[in-house]
Amino acid sequence: MSVRIDARGRGLSGRAHGDPGGVAALLEPPFLKPEAGGLRRWWPVPALLVGIATVLSVFAGYSAPIEAVPSTAHAGRQTLLAQSVATLQASLRERPDDPLAWARLGSSYVELARITVDPTYYAKAQGALERSIRLKPAGNGPAMMGMGALANARHDFTVAKDWGAKAQAAQPSTAEVYGVLADSLTQLGDDQGSADAVQRMLDLKPNVSSFTRASYYFEMHGRDDDARSAMDRALGAAGAPDEIAFSRYYLGELAFNSGRLDDADAQYTQGLHVVPDDASLTEGHAKVLAARVQYAQALDLYKRLVSRAPLPQYLLEYAELLDVSGRPDEAAQQYSVITQQQRLLEASGATDDLSAAQVAADHGDKAEAVRRAQAEWGRRQSVFVADAMAWALHVNGRDAEALPYTAKAAALGWHNATFAYHRGMIEAGLGQVADAEQDLARALDINPYFSPVHAPVAKKKLAELRNTR
């Protein structure tokens, strides 16, 4: 079976041999079939979805796969991994010169870091993977792929790309290699390179991992129907409970990011029926409650969520909801925890100036937000970083410098409410009233619930601008 992403922006296409209800039947027009002249194109998570799990932080309303999230399913996965680690360690005591066993051990540590949200596993992973490469420097695809996944987890995307290229040379027909490449290239802003990587991944293994990346590519390019279709394909390919829950969550995210609360909550709820207490699905449900101004229920869910899964995304959403609920002291405690987490990640070798810039711009040192955003822009020029640069400059009163970055953030055509809001506020700061009205209205049209903090600001500013006419 083959699947294509057409270069002319028309969507997934494919052919299922001997399967009249398969890919070709599902993807009839408006999707193009390969024989219709479509070129090859693609595309935010980890062992379930190798690499994606640790690629993107999800801040400021960005829909991005995907942070690691502990869940009931992941607890079982953690137990299996711990058993695998113990078995590998015992084997390596008997055969310490086995490069494949060291590579598997290192990759297991990367996965444990994802599941447990414990960055101390990074150093263990690096040690095991480097040992594997010392034992087998040439053609060691498993260790090279593990090093790439580790670098992605640490947000060192240039290094991840390099390791992915080495793994590709060693194992050109292994789908997971292209997951590592797609994740790093997306973050580096190499749109064509990431598209080619995910297309190759789809060719080799059209599964939850590759369809999720395809969905994210479509979403980033403003192709929302295609994004939903790709996630429907991911759900159809899902077998294990955690795969089903994962697919339901991202179908929910697509709905939420389009302002469709009922559809979003239906997806989150169906996922929770499969994996009760899944952290990501719980976050989705809490987010819907907050959007419906059911703050007490939402805060209770967030409080329980961050106690067991203290991810920066969840902490930030919890803190902002505490803020709008009139509980600033409690919110400040959560912002402090985020800062502490950033320091722990940096101490473990991770670099995440993007997330730090986003938090600092709205809730911290505004000058630090610019420094952090500039540092990240120096490493990679993706749409995520362009938006962070624009907003950091704006909150420092530098709107003229910020505006060109909003154009870079919009370059792919993403229907992103946060991006549109940022651009509108920057235009308002420059006195560009008509443009500001258009972009603020667009943000609220895309998703009127994009942020409990910023959506009300967008509505107020839009009303002010309209009243001046």
Spatial separation of the C-alpha atoms in residues 33 and 31, rounded to whole Å: 7
Confidence band for 114, pLDDT divided at 50, 70 and 90? confident
Spatial separation of the C-alpha atoms in residues 102 and 137, rounded to whole Å: 13
The neighbour count for residue 258, using CB atoms within 10 Å, is 20
pLDDT tens for residues 402-429?
999 999 999 999 999 999 999 999 999 9
Mention every residue, 6+ apart, whose C-beta is less than 8 A from residue 134: none
Backbone angles phi, psi at 13, to 5 degrees: -145, 155
Identify whether the C-beta of residue 302 lies closer than 8 Å to the C-beta of residue 317.
Answer: yes
In this prediction, residues 282-309 reach a mean pLDDT of 96
Spatial separation of the C-alpha atoms in residues 286 and 315, rounded to whole Å: 12
Q: What is the DSSP letter of 121?
A: H
pLDDT tens for residues 329-341?
999 999 999 988 8
List, as one string, the DSSP characters of 217-264.
HHHHTT-HHHHHHHHHHHHHH--SHHHHHHHHHHHHHHHHHTT-HHHH
pLDDT number for residue 3 = 55
**Cis peptide bond upstream of 30, omega within 30:** yes
pLDDT number for residue 35 = 28
The region of weakest confidence among 22-26, 104-108, 373-377 is 22-26
SS (H, E, C) 139-152: CCHHHHHHHHHHHH
In this prediction, residues 89-101 reach a mean pLDDT of 95
Say whether pLDDT at 393 is over 60. Answer: yes
pLDDT over 90 percentage in the chain: 75
First to last CA, the chain: 57
Residue labelled with tokens 């055969």: 95
**CATH 1.25.40.10, the chain: domain bounds:** 42-318, 340-467
What is 340-467's CATH number? Answer: 1.25.40.10
Question: Mean of the per-residue pLDDT values for the chain?
Answer: 86
* Token pair in block for residue 97: 């010169």
pLDDT number for residue 119 = 83
Q: What is the CA radius of gyration of the chain?
A: 22
pLDDT over 70 percentage in the chain: 83
pLDDT number for residue 76 = 63
pLDDT number for residue 67 = 35
pLDDT number for residue 52 = 40
Confidence band for 300, pLDDT divided at 50, 70 and 90? very high
Q: What is the DSSP letter of 32?
A: P
Identify whether the C-beta of residue 265 lies closer than 8 Å to the C-beta of residue 288.
Answer: yes
Confidence band for 61, pLDDT divided at 50, 70 and 90? very low
Confidence band for 351, pLDDT divided at 50, 70 and 90? confident
pLDDT number for residue 13 = 42
Say whether pLDDT at 445 is over 70. Answer: yes
pTM of the model: 0.85
* Token pair in block for residue 131: 């040992």
pLDDT number for residue 5 = 61
pLDDT number for residue 191 = 96
Q: What is the DSSP letter of 12?
A: E
Confidence band for 464, pLDDT divided at 50, 70 and 90? very high
Per-state percent for the chain, helix, strand, coil, to nearest 5: 70, 0, 30
Say whether pLDDT at 46 is over 70. Answer: no
Say whether pLDDT at 41 is over 50. Answer: no
Pairs from 118-122 (Cβ < 8 Å, separation ≥ 24): 119/344, 119/345, 119/347, 119/348, 119/350, 120/348, 122/150, 122/153, 122/154, 122/348, 122/349, 122/350
Identify whether the C-beta of residue 160 lies closer than 8 Å to the C-beta of residue 152.
Answer: yes
List, as one string, the DSSP characters of 330-360.
HHHHHHHHHHHHHHHHHHTT---HHHHHHHH
Closest CA to 358 of 396, 389, 336, 321: 389
Identify whether the C-beta of residue 165 lies closer than 8 Å to the C-beta of residue 181.
Answer: yes
In this prediction, residues 322-332 reach a mean pLDDT of 96
Instruction: Give the CATH class of 42-318.
Output: mainly alpha
Say whether pLDDT at 398 is over 90. Answer: yes
pLDDT number for residue 350 = 81
Residue labelled with tokens 């797609």: 182
5, β-bridge pairs: 12, 41
Closest CA to 182 of 146, 147, 217: 217
Q: Is the dihedral of CA 62, 66, 71, 73 positive or negative?
A: positive
Spatial separation of the C-alpha atoms in residues 262 and 253, rounded to whole Å: 12
Identify whether the C-beta of residue 84 lies closer than 8 Å to the C-beta of residue 108.
Answer: yes
Say whether pLDDT at 204 is over 80. Answer: yes
pLDDT tens for residues 184-198?
999 999 999 999 999
Backbone angles phi, psi at 167, to 5 degrees: -65, -35
In degrees, rounded to 5, the angle at the alpha carbon of residue 82 between the alpha carbons of residues 81 and 85 is: 85
pLDDT tens for residues 234-277?
999 999 999 999 999 999 999 999 999 999 999 999 999 999 98
